[in-house]
Amino acid sequence: MKKSGHLFSLFFFSFFFLLVAAAAGNLAAPENNSDAPDAARGNLDAPENNSEAADSAAESSWIRVNQMGYLPESIKTAVLLRKEKDFPLKKFELRDALTNEVVYQSGEAASFGEYAAFSNSFRLDFSEFKTPGAYYITAEKLRSPVFRIAHDAYQGAADFLLKYMRQQRCGYNPYLKDSCHVQDGYIIYHPTLDSTHINVTGGWHDASDYLQYVATSANAVFQMLLAYEHYPAAFGDAYNASGEPGKNGIPDILDEAKWGLDWLVRMNPAPGMMFNQIADDRDHGGFRLPTEDTISYGKGLKRPVYFVNGKPQGLYKYQNRTTGVASTAGKYASAFALGAMLLEKHYPEFSQLIDKKAVEAYEFGLSDTGACQTAPCRAPYFYEEDNWTDDMELAAAQLFRLTGKKEYLQQAAAFGRKEPKTPWMGADTARHYQWYPFFNAGHYFLAAQKNSPEISDTFRNYYRDGLEAVLRRGEDNPFLNGIPFIWCSNNLTTALLSQSALYRKASGDTAFLHMEASLRDWLFGSNPWGTSMIVGLPGNGDTPVDPHSAFTALHNFPIDGGLVDGPVYGSIFASLKGIHLAGGDEYAPFQSRLVVYHDDYGDYSTNEPTMDGTACLTYYLAALGSKGLEKTPLKNTQRTLGAVTRMDSTQKNIYLIFSAHDFNEGGTAIRESLAENDVPASFFFTGEFYNSRQNRRLIRGLKDDGHYLGPHSGAHLLYAPWDQRDSTLITRERFREDLRENYRAMAKFGIEKSAAPYFLPPYEWYNKEIARWTKEAGLRLVNYTPGTGTARDYTWPELGEKYTGSQAILNDLLETERRSGLNGHILLVHLGTDPRREDKFYSKLDELIQQLKEKGYQFKRFGNDN
């Protein structure tokens, strides 16, 4: 099991950088001193009675998969790693996670030989298998973790990242329900206003420290806005503008971007008056919550606010190499311009304000071209951004979109030609944030210019050149990973994923899909350590639990959604000062002279979440979520405790479902009524019901009629107490075995699990844990829509006030339809009821169907949309 957070009592620099001069092949190895956890060994969820998983090979070999899962139509690969040199791989198999049946096998695996800590490595490609479900891979007595193939594998993932963004908020922090840094701040480096107070409270803390930078914040704003502009359907509305739970009619991604824009406005109070950062490395005085910050900068709790003057800055011995203002001004301008376009509907006056500021910021950038770096203080470490033409290119491209003035398009192209490829791409190393942002979004807008073929062709080629450079660098390793393992390597990975997606969007070229899929999988566990790089995502996977953060180290507060820095060269880690692994190295077998990663709060080089990296990942996860939404049947659905309880609310469809365990007396009448009205329906029976001889004719008839037949548990177990729903009465293994019993009984009628993925819980009673277990089994938990009332048909007169007659049930349903409609509603009717109920509701089925048809409803069944 993975360890939990520990108390932190040592002084660490959260923000630290050393120049990387050593080539990848000459890197010193860090000390290895402990065993890997079971999760890293790849033998989680071992199937019952499967001796393969216990073989000694599992101690020296591992299969890495994407723990989030794979879209059915996507490229799907796993990576097998082995310490021993002699390892012939003859075949691999894909098995159903619930039944353990082999559903796919292949004798082909691409061998890549030695890599990092491993003597043998293979890529296992199962892209041609597209059936949704939950699976694991076996090969040569090895077993991978369970993963899903599903259209909704990434649904909600982009919104999940916003949890970390809200936790990073400065000013009012909804995570802590308290405010911090409310006295910010006092101006420095201004020719006439030094030491003057300025209200710049707001924005986000940069990482686990509490410094704030315009460079990373403006880029974060732009990336989130771009994610929403291209993929609005990927985002929901569950929080208000303050970050508190509750809808406000505005997508949460826009609420978060607006929080950042409000701060940027404060940091740019007038034309030509810009500030670049709040606080400096004096902040690095140990772990504490932001609301308990006691670091003094000489003016109580006020923090210094650095004025943008276009000259080198640094209060003590060290200074940066600033050459102008354009990199900062360009970032302001692009964030303001895109914000003005996307927020006009919700904030028209604010939109007009930042529209004007976008133009002013761009003009300020033109007045003093050059790069504006962050300022060091007591230590020589800072964001060493050397490029600026990419920022001005993006700003000009957005102003062209905002104003329609062609001179902006020409200026954007001129700036863009000065840096065709972001310089880190294809390189072995770079200084910290030397080429930032890590990909040039401006190239996309120029590549997408349909009315300027020369410009679009040029910039599509620029994007392609960058992608090819990284592809060539990684084509000889099993992960196809050509990212240099410098500080914040995960941010580079995220940037390349975005560039690949944008290049494909602009050109239609799919040449980089395999590399893109591999880098996606890398972030979610297909890497040497077998861990996701996003805290808490996926919820049932191996993810960071001990990140470099005061929230976790001091209080074990989860910081879900944060993208950690990621692996670094072994030489970087071996050279770091003040580093200390508090909990030992759980990934020791996977560390190498090439690259290391530690899930330990003491490793600030690989395990510190960053605000800008997290914000930038929203784009790619939104793209994946939207792609899945195009084909999933679960669009615009309502969920209750993890179960789908209402289908697409935008469609005038009704889903009739019938359940049965003990009683079946209404089966024939229901079948005849459905046939007469030409209505499909869905039937959920227990394993015992399927196994009963008296039900065989009915079941075969329903199957022949084309209805959906699905599982309702093997023995109709009660999963949770009626009066304490959060508790679970059965174990996970009993739950899984009960489901297997159900599917074994269904198999006698030729009903395969892949054709019956929707599961109705027994007694229609469940909790979040049951919903999670159902998902892990590759199934979809469904239940009737609350408030419809048809499920009351199980009652009988002796129950007193609980009893409801059939006409009353029908009248209540029709009244609900009159008031609010029944779009997407799931209506449950029991196939049979206790003999003490003589007034059977299924006798009203003809009337119910006819009245709803007259109101324009169509009847649908589950299962045709897998």
What are the domain boundaries of the chain? Answer: 157-629, 638-860
Question: What is the chain's length?
Answer: 866
CA–CA gap between residue 769 and residue 784 (Å, rounded): 18
Please give the pLDDT value at position 578.
Answer: 74
Q: Which residues pair with 525 in a beta bridge?
A: none
Taking 60 as the threshold, does the pLDDT of residue 615 lie above it?
yes
SS (H, E, C) 748-784: CCCCCHHHCCEECCHHHCCCHHHHHHHHHCCCEEECC
What mean pLDDT comes out for the span 745-756? 95
Q: Does residue 26 have a pLDDT over 70?
A: no
Coil, strand or helix: which one is 147?
strand
Residue 24 has pLDDT above 80, yes or no: no
CA-angle at 28, arms to 22 and 32, nearest 5° = 150
pLDDT of residue 217 exceeding 70, the answer is yes
> Quick check: 786 pLDDT over 60?
yes
| Confidence bin at 630 (pLDDT 50/70/90) | confident
Q: What is the pLDDT of residue 57?
A: 56
The whole-number pLDDT of residue 58 equals 58
What's the whole-number mean pLDDT along residues 35-43? 31
Query: Per DSSP, which regions of 52-170 are E strands?
Result: 61-64, 77-82, 92-96, 102-106, 110-111, 120-125, 133-139, 142-143, 147-149
- 545, pLDDT greater than 60: yes
State yes or no: pLDDT of 489 exceeds 70.
yes
Q: What pLDDT score was predicted for residue 285?
A: 85
The CA-to-CA distance between both ends of the chain, in Å, stands at 34
Same fold, 157-629 and 638-860: no
Across the range 129-149, mean pLDDT stands at 95
Task: Read off φ and ψ for residue 573, nearest 5 degrees.
Answer: -60, -40
Residue with tokens 């082909």: 108
Residue 505: band (very low, low, confident or very high) from pLDDT cuts 50, 70, 90: very high
**What are the angstrom distances between the C-alpha of 207 and each of 284, 494, 561, 598?**
12, 17, 13, 17
- Of 138-152, 167-181, 270-284, 619-633, where does mean pLDDT reach its minimum? 619-633
Q: What number of other Cβ atoms are within 10 A of residue 762's Cβ?
A: 22
What average pLDDT score do residues 745-765 get? 96
What single string gives the DSSP state of each residue in 462-484? HHHHHHHHHHHHHTTSTT-----
612 HSE (CA, 13 A, CB side): 24
* Average pLDDT of the residues of the chain: 92
pLDDT for position 706 = 96
HEC-encoded secondary structure of 391-412: HHHHHHHHHHHHHCCHHHHHHH
What lies within 8 Å, CB to CB, of 782 at 6+ separation is: 643, 644, 645, 657, 758, 759, 760, 826, 862
Q: Is 72 helix (H, G, I), strand (E, B) or coil?
A: coil
CB 422 within 8 A of CB 390: yes
C-beta of residue 377 within 8 angstroms of C-beta of residue 318: yes
Q: State which amino acid sits at residue 748.
A: K
More confident residue, 65 or 22: 65
d(CA 428, CA 268): 37
CA distances to 180, 282, 293, 302, 306 from 184, rounded to whole Å, are 9, 15, 12, 5, 12
Report the sign of the C-alpha dihedral through residues 669, 672, 677, 683, in that order.
positive
3-state helix, strand, coil in the chain (%, to 5): 35, 15, 50
What is the pLDDT at residue 128?
A: 97
- For residue 630, give every residue at least 6 positions away whose Cβ sits within 8 Å of its Cβ, in sequence order, or none: none
Residue percentage of the chain with pLDDT more than 70 = 93
Highest mean pLDDT: which of 49-63, 247-261, 628-642?
Answer: 247-261
Measured in degrees and rounded to the nearest 5, phi and psi for residue 118 equal: -115, 145
| Mean pLDDT confidence for 626-634 | 83
Give the sign of the dihedral formed by CA 254, CA 256, CA 261, CA 262.
Answer: positive
Measuring CA to CA, which residue among 32, 33, 30, 34 is closest to residue 574?
30
pLDDT at 692 over 80: yes
What's the rounded Cα separation, in Å, for the pair 626 and 455? 29
- Residue identified by tokens 């690259």 is 595
Q: What is the pLDDT of residues 96-138, one digit of tens each?
A: 999 999 999 999 899 999 999 999 999 999 999 999 999 999 9
What does DSSP assign to residue 604? T
- The pLDDT value recorded for residue 866 is 37
Residue 287: Cβ-neighbour burial (10 angstroms; 0-12, 13-18, 19+): buried
Domain range 157-629, its CATH number among 1.10.260.40, 1.10.287.110, 1.50.10.10, 1.10.240.10: 1.50.10.10
Tell me what pLDDT residue 45 has. 40
pLDDT tens digits, one per residue of 291-345: 999 999 999 999 999 999 999 999 999 999 999 999 999 999 999 999 999 999 9
The model's confidence at residue 286, banded by pLDDT at 50, 70 and 90, is confident
Q: Which of 206-220, 571-585, 613-627 is the least confident region?
A: 571-585
Q: Whole-angstrom Cα distance, residue 402 to residue 394?
A: 12
Q: Are 499 and 621 in contact (CB under 8 A)?
A: no
The yes-or-no verdict on residue 782 having pLDDT over 50 is yes
Three-state secondary-structure class, residue 325: coil
Encode pLDDT of 805-834 as tens digits.
Answer: 999 999 999 999 999 999 999 999 999 999
Label residue 631 by pLDDT band (50, 70, 90): confident
**394 near 420, Cβ under 8 Å?**
no
The single-letter DSSP state of residue 866 is: -
Give the CA-trace dihedral at 600, 605, 611, 614, to 10 degrees: -80
60-71 burial: b if 16+ Cβ within 10 Å, else e: bbbbbbbbbbbb
Mean pLDDT of 367-380: 96
The pLDDT of residue 44 is above 80: no
Asked if 121 and 84 count as a contact pair (C-beta separation under 8 A), the reply is: no
* Residue located via tokens 């049932």: 540
Please report the pLDDT score of residue 39 as a whole number: 32
Architecture (CATH level 2) of domain 638-860 = Alpha-Beta Barrel (3.20)
* Interval 30-35 mean pLDDT: 31
